[in-house]
Structure 1
Amino acid sequence: MARCPGDTVSVRRPPFGEWPWIVAALALAVVAELGLRTAGLPRLARMFGTPLRTDDSTPAQPDHPSGAPVLDDRARRQVRSSRRVMRHWPFGDTCLRQALISGALLRRLGPELLVGVAKIDGQVRAHAWLEINGGILDPLGAAASYTPLLSPDALDVK
């Protein structure tokens, strides 16, 4: 259906309280992009306040059936803001970038970054997600299908 010149299109705008987090997520996305190209992942993750888990001593044991962490309103706005920025990011909305930026915004909650691999349709694929207080924060909901890489040497790629 063609639109007439006088028609209005409603655009869903973020709530006013989300704008500071959107700006912060955008700044973190720029730093993450540069860091992914120049620093090793363990170092970048530490800089972002989201240390890379390198041992299996603290596997996720969610206290609730969904497996997702319980987040307050502020944390939900922060995650939503990082997703909003990454949806429009010109270098790709990868799970690693998403996890780094969300983790940096949520660093007060003590998130840990996990990177896993799986063989899917004959190809080895990687995925990144966060664990917070025993819950898994994974927008794709695919973390259970991946085996975490727990060697920091395997991830120290520059």
Structure 2
Amino acid sequence: MRNPLTLVRAVPLREWPSVWAAAVIAATVEVGLRVARLPRLAAWLGAPLGLEQESPLMPAGGATARLSATERRRLRATWRVLRHWPFGDTCLRRALVGGHVLRRRKPVLRVGVAKIEGRIQAHAWLEIDGVSLDPVGAATYRTFEAMGGTR
């Protein structure tokens, strides 16, 4: 585990409210991961699990450009908190906390799998208006619904 004092020293004063909010959301997500099913938790956080067939993804450059400065600052705070999170910095935690931070934009949580170096791996990411906030993940991993027709 990283030293929590590193987090304290690295955060500019104007970002502390976003960091505290992200920590509270992360704690809520941590409890939710233990007591609720993922579809219910994701919907409650404001980023429902998207299992429908995906639409074609737009170029990733437009995705981050469409986030406001406040949204980008809140996402930075989320990543900063989760880098030091004692329960791990997983893509699912990032997507759930980030989904709550961006809930006014109506994000969709995507979960996919891929075979990488002979091992099955899972990944979670967010989409807003059909644009993946993680274009590498969206291109590499196939969502569960997309896999449903291939046996």
TM-score range, shorter chain: 0.7 to 0.9
Q: Structure 2: how far apart are the matches of 1:44 and 1:115?
A: 14
Give 2:110's match in structure 1, choosing from 87, 95, 114: 114
2:92 is equivalent to residue 92 of structure 1 = no
Task: Name the amino acid aligned to 2:70.
Answer: R
Gaps of 5+ in 2: 1-7, 147-151
Q: Structure 2: how far apart are the matches of 1:110 and 1:65?
A: 18
More helix by share: 2
Max radius of gyration: which structure?
Answer: 1
Give 2:33's match in structure 1, choosing from 32, 36, 53: 36
Secondary structure of the corresponding residue to residue 32 of structure 1 = helix
Q: How far apart are residue 142 of structure 1 and its match?
A: 2.6
Cα 1:79–1:55 shift into 2, 3 Å = same
Aligned ranges for residues 1-158 of structure 1 at < 5 Å?
Answer: 13-56=10-53, 58-62=54-58, 64=59, 66=61, 68-69=63-64, 70-138=66-134, 141-150=136-145
Task: Name the amino acid aligned to 1:146.
Answer: Y
Deviation digits for residues 112-137 of structure 1 (CA, Å, limit 9, x no counterpart): 00000001111110000000122211
Q: Structure 2: how far apart are the matches of 1:13 and 1:33?
A: 24
2:51 touches 2:143 (CA, 8 Å); kept in 1? no
Gaps of 5+ in 1: 1-10, 152-158
Identity %: 50
Cα 1:71–1:60 shift into 2, 3 Å = farther
1:60 touches 1:131 (CA, 8 Å); kept in 2? no
Secondary structure of the corresponding residue to residue 71 of structure 1 = coil
TM-score by length of 1: 0.79
Cα 1:27–1:65 shift into 2, 3 Å = closer
Task: Name the amino acid aligned to 1:29.
Answer: A
Q: How well do the aligned residues superpose, as a CA RMSD in angstroms? A: 2.0
Moved over 4 A (4+): none
Q: Structure 2: how far apart are the matches of 1:116 and 1:74?
A: 29
Q: Structure 2: how far apart are the matches of 1:54 and 1:146?
A: 13
Q: How far apart are residue 65 of structure 1 and its match?
A: 5.5
| Paired positions, count | 138
